Amino acid sequence: MEQAVQSSLFDQADRRELGNGAWLEVRSGWLAQDGADDAALFRELREAIPWRSERRQMYDRVLDVPRLVSFHHLLDEPAPHPRLKQLRRRLNDAYAGELGEPFVTAGLCLYRDGNDSVAWHGDNIGRSRTDDTMVAIVGLGATRVFALRPRGGGASLRIRHGHGDLLVMGGSCQRTWEHAIPKTTRPTGPRISIQFRPHDVR
């Protein structure tokens, strides 16, 4: 069973409780609220980021992961674009008190077209951490479906994650839910997602 959820459903309360301590928050147009040119940001990141491809073991084969990625520790290295540190500061102002620690890394993914995707997964949480954490994702470029489903089965959610929207998964979400960016056959332009995470979450 699949439940379609539009970002506008979150405009009033922002946050949706998913059960078992997991929650999801969507803020449409969050990026534009700092007054910067967010249309230019997509183009600049696409050119400035040192994108790389990944290969992953799938059963008896090693396959290319259908997207490009780049990972940056914003405390230990220069940011490839100054807006990444500015966005990190905004997120820390909004969430670090509740999270109990700051966001420190930025992982970027480039989905070149509808053939690029990421399979169902939960982010890896280091052994030194408790189960509860947050991952904040800023979308740039083309709108793509962000899908979530409970681990072990249950109704799934499909959220249209558009340019400038902020999506935050919190609480037990990485442990009790899975998320994915499905492939699409519709003509789709490129998309960049920026995932801000605290220490020891990948």
Q: CB neighbours of 87 closer than 8 A, spacing ≥ 6?
A: 31, 138, 194, 196
What is the assigned CATH class of domain 2-197?
Answer: mainly beta
Q: CB neighbours of 55 closer than 8 A, spacing ≥ 6?
A: 62, 63, 64, 65
Give residue 178's identity as a one-letter amino acid code.
Answer: E
Q: Is the pLDDT of residue 55 over 90?
A: no
* Backbone φ/ψ region at 122: left (φ over 0), alpha (ψ -120 to 50), beta: beta
Q: Is the pLDDT of residue 2 over 80?
A: no
What pTM value is reported for the model?
Answer: 0.89
Averaged pLDDT of the chain = 89
Q: Would you list the domain boundaries of the chain?
A: 2-197
* Per-residue model confidence (pLDDT) at position 57: 66
